[in-house]
Structure 1
Amino acid sequence: MSLERTAEGASGSATLTVDELSARVGMTVRTLRFYAGRGLIPPPVRRGRVGYYGPEHIARLDLVRELQAHGFTLSAIEGYLERIPADATPQDIALHRTLLTPWMRDLPETLDRKALVRRTGRDLTDDDIEMLVALGVVEPTPDDDVFQVATAHLSLGVELLDLELPVEAALAAGRIFTEHGRAIAEELTEVFRKTVWPHFRDGGSTPEHLQQLIERFKPVTIQGLVLAYERAVGETQRDTIRRTSNRPKR
């Protein structure tokens, strides 16, 4: 199904001229026409010589802006939108935006080295910075001594500095968490898309309600991961003790 057919089917709700759409979404007319030319939004509904836009155009433009805020390139945005059915309702498109809600408590903050020292309340050696980078709390930028900092986790990073762990251990642990964390995230996302989302969508839930659900789902998921990790560590310790006790004595 083409985007053009979607626009035709929504003719009754298309009431905005391109200038009105521009004011509504905060984008220039030139940008809107560029996006339309790239197929990011359906063509306007024509009534005579005037084209009109409706809720489906607004929903897709809001999604484009959300994807841009997450750092997606225009090509990546095009690929993402291609996977959304052309006959998707504005509500369905809004649900895609909801699923893009950041899960980190705070977005990374850009700090230079002096500001980072002030924030941590301690002098930071090059080794300290290397450790914070290994822990994933600090990320270097192309500018010297300027970093992207996960400020919500900075105090934890400082506590780990006091443990004086080998940086190799932090890097190895980081690789483990990244690898398994990504696998968990992908599998949970599939559960949400295939089970949770259809359940609430078919029940007539609004995007706002689903947003609230995700916000409540975050801490529950994190606590579930912590509980599973604690149990796994306990089981691993018991297995280690059993293997050690069963070894033949020399």
Structure 2
Amino acid sequence: MAAAAEYTIDELAQAAGTTVRSVRVYHERGVLPPPQLRGRTGYYGDEHLNRVRTISRLLDRGIKLNGIKELLAAWDRGDDLGAVLGVVEPEPAAVDELEDSTISATELQARFGDVPNGLARVVAIGVFEPVNATTYRVADPALATLFDCSAALGVPCAEGLRELERLKADCDRIARRLVDLLHRHAWESYATSNRGSDELAQLAAQVAAIRRVPGKATGDLVNRLIEREIEQDSEISEVLHKA
């Protein structure tokens, strides 16, 4: 049987995509159980990791720490709160519904009508795609959700679209650099080999890794950097720590 995972406070914060300071606040506010002490070092397990991730999701939904403490206490008692609180991962059907959702050309034009070439630009970066002359559908649910998130922050439509274009361009550059590394190293190694089944399997594994690992690592890094920037924003940070 595999040994249970153990984390120091630094490792726990990194695995959960948060900061050590936040973990300590969760301890102080009574929403995170204490670690197991061995000597002067505290060790956390997977239950702590799941709890920190749950707390982060609830904070993202606008629930304050006092409310989170009460909700998690009820959850620990066995109440079926996962679906209500959004702690359970969404079912794939929810993503399918977003991908299949449609919007009329008239509605899209009204939404982006005040933005220069707004409709053409939002289609060009891949948020929406035309179904026919009168109907569009969501082409990229992740981009659509990100745009909706900026709108919920009160960001004007023109500014939100401009930031989305910049983000897409940044992601395109990252993808091209990573695939260039793949070609210059993994492919060149395969191309100069005898191209047997073992070499092909190795190349396939390398391609699978480049498709999966960088995106998750980049997303985790961006989340940690956002957390750092929020912590360094004295006005926002001061208000949040009073919550």
TM range (shorter): 0.3 to 0.5
Q: Larger radius of gyration, structure 1 or 2?
A: 1
Normalising by structure 2, report the TM-score.
Answer: 0.37
